[in-house]
């Protein structure tokens, strides 16, 4: 896995406050960006499935039970 450097500028007070709270700023930003990327990947997959499923005609009411019954009866 290759990595890249991402630089972010924040006010000094913000960084100092986070450090006083014991927060590793670099790690927090890294975790946030990884979660954001995962969320965007999920959005793309969901959009793709919605597009695929949007073309499918829903089955009629009772189709599943009729189908199971027919299979059980061996027809």
Residues 6+ apart with CB under 8 A from 25: 15, 18, 19
In the structure, how many helices (H) and strands (E) does the chain have?
3, 0
User: Tens digit of pLDDT for each residue in 17-31?
Assistant: 999 999 999 999 999
Is 32 or 53 the better-scoring residue by pLDDT?
32
Portion of the chain with pLDDT greater than 70, in percent? 99
Single pTM value for the model: 0.67
User: Tens digit of pLDDT for each residue in 39-56?
Assistant: 999 999 999 999 988 888
Q: Model confidence at 9, in pLDDT bands (50, 70, 90)?
A: very high
Yes or no: say if 6 and 33 are a contact pair by the CB < 8 Å rule. yes
């Amino acid at each position: 896995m290759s990595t890249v450097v991402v630089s972010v500028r924040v006010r000094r007070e913000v960084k100092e406050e986070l450090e006083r709270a014991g927060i590793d700023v670099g790690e927090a930003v890294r975790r946030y960006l990884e979660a954001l990327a995962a969320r965007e990947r999920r959005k793309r997959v969901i959009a793709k499935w919605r597009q695929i499923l949007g073309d499918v005609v829903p089955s009629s009411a009772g189709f599943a039970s009729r189908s199971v019954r027919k299979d059980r009866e061996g027809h």
